[in-house]
Structure 1
């Protein structure tokens, strides 16, 4: 009985993994549609948002 439950669980997880691969094929290479966080070329801090870095605001 326990072997049956465990095997059904593993089969279910394998099916979910296959559907996940179809939906997000580039999971290891970064998410599609999301830009990588940029760094400021002057101070090297991570930029949040589209505005200028706080070191250049004045």
Structure 2
């Protein structure tokens, strides 16, 4: 009986892992909400321009 419960638990966990990977693609973030600068790849903090864009 304990083996059946263990196998059922493992199968349920595999099923959850399989369906957890199926994510629907969401809308792309606007340019100000990107996490990195498209030019230099630095992380962006805040809504101001990146230091590489200031010149």
Instruction: Identify the TM-score tier after normalising by the shorter chain.
Output: 0.3 to 0.5
Higher relative contact order (CA closer than 8 Å, sequence separation 6+): 2
User: Structure 1-normalised TM-score?
Assistant: 0.45
User: Structure 2-normalised TM-score?
Assistant: 0.46
